[in-house]
Amino acid sequence: MFLHLSFIWIKIVNVNEFQELAKQALPKIYYDFYSGGAEDQHTLKENVEAFTRIMFRPRVLVDVSKIDTSTRILGYPISSPIMIAPAAMHMLAHPEGETAAAKAAAACNTIMIVSFMASCTIEEVASSCNTVKFLQIYVYKQREVTAQMVKRAEKAGFKAIVLTVDVPKLGRREADIKNKLISPKLKNFEGLFSTELRPSEGSGMEAVASRGLDASFSWKDIEWLRSITKLQILVKGILTREDALKAVEAGVDGIVVSNHGARQLDYSPATITVLEEVVHVVGRRIPVLLEGGIRRGTDVFKALALGAKAVLIGRPVVYGLVAKGEDGVKKVIDMLKNEFELTMALSGCPTIHDITRNHVRPSKDEPRSHLSWSLISFGFSVASFSLLFDMDQIVNVNEFQEMAKRALPKMYYDYFNGGAEDEHTVKENVEAFHRIMFRPRVLVDVSKIDMSTSVLGYPISAPIMIAPVALLKLAHPEGEIATARAAAACNTIMIVSYMSSCTIEEVASSCNAVRFLQIYVFKKHEIAQMVIRAEKAGFKAIVLTNAPRIGKREADIKNKMISPQLKNFGSLFPTEVQPIKGSGLETLSSTALDSSFGWKDIDWLRSITKLPILIKGILTREDALKAVEAGVDGIVVSNHGGRQLDYSPATITVLEEVVHVVRGRIPVLFDGGVRRGSDVFKALALGAQAVIIGRPLAYALAAKGEDGVKQGIEMLKNEFELTMALSGCPTIGDITRNHVKTEAERLHSML
């Protein structure tokens, strides 16, 4: 292996190529630790890709016979604006760990920021060479742990403290969870805090973080840190103008624009996309550094043109360390410096001071998700499928889909999975969430998170409800009964489908969950009997779905989907259809659905029930206003899971339009494309009171019945809770429109 890597080493021509060397050399558990990001790893990709959308505006006929890349950070001269970012546990990458990286920094005349979680001690790194070193820190619940580290660093000659402020809790790093990453014993903490954990499940790093990190640390506590050191203090993890201003007001000496290498809150913005926002509010009062996605010297130039004083390099340095220790790190830094120097020359900039905003042009084209419509886009590889039948290996709700695909007959899987025609809207429902970025707030006390809310006065543990899905016995023998029990166990509301396999009475008697009944209006108004039965059985609301006709679901047509007899309808209406061609559901709907039902008929529905009435299927401000005028009790923004009119908008893209016209007069719920707890947060930030989950829970039901549905809901709740914490929102009421940035807003900011 060594000879093979040495041969490849000779052929390395850019820093990206070190990653493959590291992948070959490291055990998978360690490579995944360094390379991985949070959840779907969207921000991990976007950190790099966002640079590719910034174009140059080079100047010609400038004397560039001499190029000076040197600069100063906090008064310390460095040969180029390229510094080494803090990265934990370097000894997992190379036996010499941080001492090798520090020696490389000295050889390249730059600054190294040493991680709080370093493998080598502060004193070992300090004595290894004479480079300028800063210490990155977290604040622990046991403040003395942090205090002792800071005092040791100051005594050892470190020149600044870099306080990381975006980790009240550790982000959900699913590779580490799957690998059951072991947290090794770190010498820096000897006698202060035990870091060695071998978890029975999950990640050891996560276990250490939950035991150590002080989630209550906030801006006011900067004074405590200043009281224990004379060193300059930078804050790392700023992504918004609001927090940048707070940092200046707190009197810190510098800011690092960072999303923690995309390892904390997925769908945080790429750091280069928010750099100007931070620089603008800071002005020249303190230096602004940038971390995240730098892979080329051209990226360094772009960051400086947008206002950064210098950049921090993380993963490439680690990969260079893996490949060839100190020499590998030196080569990474020198490659970036050489590319940066060339970029300066070709842009007509002899010195750092000549680089201006006018030298770059950020693209006005909105960043689009390049994730394909496949399970790969949800953050796990095909190789992991062999593990999926072990429920302990499931780490997000997307992974239930492959389990369902394996467990169900193709006809039934296609029924639950499919959409209308080209299935454009099915894909877009999910992908539209990827284009909404977070604006997280830091240093907020999130030691206690309250997700609870209420819908129509009924309290639920989190704003996550179960959507109406028909024929659940096709997924599992216990069908809607198993789903209702899971709803009760998770203290949430289930909306039972009009086309449920189990009867209204069976579902009602199965548990004490709050239930709503979703209905269609049939030509013969058999609906009246169903509504009366639901009210008698203790259902709490009626959800009227707009479906004058069924959408063209081509998978069901190809499969000649059978429509079974449903007990709910008894002798009221025959539902069993075995078509000669096409879909049985299509045949059934064409004979049953009342396409003449209009707004005026809401009064008829109100005349047969005292239950609150919600309208499901609203996608425009006009219809939202009509719903309010009709006196309904709530709205569900929905495109029927992309199963009706293809090329309808993704529901998340029209949510604000509906919320704006409703103006809080009735609750607005949201349906469509929610696959992460972060999606729940986005929907609430845009005005939804709660979300309803359909396909993921049907897949979970197919995988493991009631337990699968419970696990699916709990996963979403846990991710939502983590998103609240990482966004600085202790309660539902703290989630505001200001916590997210939509596609349209980002487009506007580029103009």
- CA pair distance 5, 191, nearest whole angstrom: 39
- CA pair distance 288, 244, nearest whole angstrom: 10
- CA pair distance 260, 154, nearest whole angstrom: 24
What residues have CB less than 8 Å from 407, skipping those under 6 apart?
A: 702, 703
Nearest to 85 by CA among 190, 227, 218, 237: 237
Q: State both tokens at 442.
A: 């830091």
DSSP code for 362: E
Q: State both tokens at 122.
A: 């502060």
Kind and range of the H or E run holding 651: helix 651-662
- CA pair distance 252, 405, nearest whole angstrom: 53
Q: State both tokens at 310.
A: 């210098």
- Catalytic residue of the set 42, 90, 94, 260: 260
585 and 520 Cβ atoms separated by less than 8 Å: no
359 is catalytic: no
* Parallel/antiparallel/unpaired status of strands 464-466 and 690-693: parallel
Distance of alpha carbon 613 from the chain centroid: 33
Q: State both tokens at 149.
A: 């580290």
Indicate the residue type of 452: S
- CA pair distance 665, 651, nearest whole angstrom: 20
Indicate the residue type of 435: R
- CA pair distance 229, 150, nearest whole angstrom: 7
Cα atoms in the Cβ-side hemisphere of radius 13 Å centred on 132: 19
The dihedrals phi and psi of 264, each to the nearest 5 degrees, come to -110, -85
Token match 């070709």: residue? 346
Expressed in percent and rounded to 5, the helix, strand and coil fractions of the chain are 45, 15, 40
Tell me the Ramachandran region of residue 423: left when phi exceeds 0, alpha when psi lies from -120 to 50, beta otherwise.
Answer: left
Q: State both tokens at 411.
A: 């006809």
Q: How many CB atoms lie within 10 A of CB 720?
A: 25
Q: Is 460 helix (H, G, I), strand (E, B) or coil?
A: strand
> Hey, which residues does 543 pair with through a beta bridge?
518, 614
Q: In terms of C-beta density within 10 A (0-12 exposed, 13-18 middle, 19 or more buried), how is residue 159 classed?
A: middle
What are all long-range contacts of 580-588, with beta carbons under 8 Å and residues at least 24 apart? 582/557, 583/553, 583/556, 583/557, 583/559, 584/560, 585/550, 585/553, 585/556, 585/561, 586/550, 586/552, 586/553, 586/556, 586/557, 587/563, 588/563
The dihedrals phi and psi of 648, each to the nearest 5 degrees, come to -65, 155
Kindly list the distances between the CA atom of residue 715 and the CA atoms of 476, 497, 689, in Å, as whole numbers in the listed order: 20, 23, 19
- CA pair distance 729, 735, nearest whole angstrom: 6
- CA pair distance 18, 30, nearest whole angstrom: 15
What residues have CB less than 8 Å from 134, skipping those under 6 apart?
A: 111, 112, 113, 114, 158, 159, 160, 161, 162, 234
274 and 46 Cβ atoms separated by less than 8 Å: no
Q: How would you label 478-490 residue by residue, b for 16+ Cβ within 10 Å and e otherwise?
A: bbbbbbbbbbbbb
- Would you name the residues annotated as active-site residues? 260
